[in-house]
Amino acid sequence: MHILLIYDISEDKIRNKVAEACKDFGLKRIQWSAFLGQLNHNRREELMMRISKLLGDNEGNIRLYPICSKDIKLVHEINRV
Amino acid sequence: MHILLIYDISEDKIRNKVAEACKDFGLKRIQWSAFLGQLNHNRREELMMRISKLLGDNEGNIRLYPICSKDIKLVHEINRV
């Protein structure tokens, strides 16, 4: 299943570690604090447990949205570089 | 339908205007650059047209993900304040 993972993490070091964890799980960075990829249920749980440990007691909000293949095709993007 | 709108916009003034546009469309800010809410197809198109105008030729990436009611329940969140 597709997943979209977004985060607000104030501590730079932790934010970088969370980004590395997302890459380790094969996710692709689509925005500064957003990763997209495909993970099954177990791998989603595993990733969130790893992120939870990385965050510890520090401030942060992390959200992982599973998105089905029908909905992922409806994404609307504006991209100007 | 639920929608998740995320953005990377470097220009502060434009980023703030895009955030205001999201609030005007009844979306709720869930992270610094992420809004969540419910919009039908026409309203999604309208919002993205407004954002496109606000962005003009400036650099930015905006993504609007429709998420069905089944998937929205599967969101996994870590929130530490």
pTM: 0.96
Model confidence at B45, pLDDT cuts 50, 70, 90, reads: very high
Give strand ranges (E) for chain A.
2-9, 28-31, 34-38, 60-67, 76-80
| Residues of the binding site of A for Mg(2+) | 8
A10 interface with B at CB cutoff 8 Å: no
The strand pairing partners of A76, in sequence order, are B64
- Across chain A, which distance is largest between two alpha carbons, in Å? 37
Could you give phi then psi for residue A38, rounded to 5 degrees? -125, 125
Contact A54, A21 (CB under 8 A): yes
Residues from chain A contacting residue B75 (CB–CB below 8 Å): 63-66
Domains of chain B and any CATH numbers: 2-73 (3.30.70.240)
What's the ipTM?
A: 0.94
Residue from A63, A64, A68, A69 to probe the interface with B (highest B Cβ count within 10 Å) = A63
Q: What is the pLDDT of residue B81?
A: 87
pLDDT in tens, B1-29: 999 999 999 999 999 999 999 999 999 99
A chain contacts of residue B79, beta-carbon cutoff 8 Å? 60-62
